[in-house]
Structure formats: C-alpha cells, structure tokens
Amino acid sequence: MAELAALKAMTVPELQEKWQAIFGERAPNASRGNLELR
C-alpha cells in the first residue's frame, strides 16, 4: 500500500521510469492519470 501511495508523489518522468522497470518497455501513454491507474 505504501508503494501505491508513493505514486502520487512521483513526477511523470519518475512514473515512466517505474513503468519501464516493471514492464520492460516505454509507457504507451505518458499522461499522469494513465500511469497511475495502471
């Protein structure tokens, strides 16, 4: 749960890096809402 809460404090570039680390590819959509939801 703490990791989910930390997403709100991340910048969009940080969210994109997190996405790449998890999925091994660039995020298909760079909008903050999309990155947080997934």
- Residue 4 has what pLDDT? 83
Kindly state the tokens that stand for 28.
């298909």
pLDDT tens profile 1-38: 788 888 889 999 998 999 999 999 998 887 887 777 76
Q: Provide the residue range defining the domain that includes 9.
A: 2-37
Which amino acid belongs to residue 11?
A: T
Kindly state the tokens that stand for 12.
């969009």
pTM score:
0.72
Say how far apart CA 19 and CA 8 lie, in whole Å. Answer: 14
**Domains: count for the chain:** 1
- Residue 20 has what pLDDT? 94
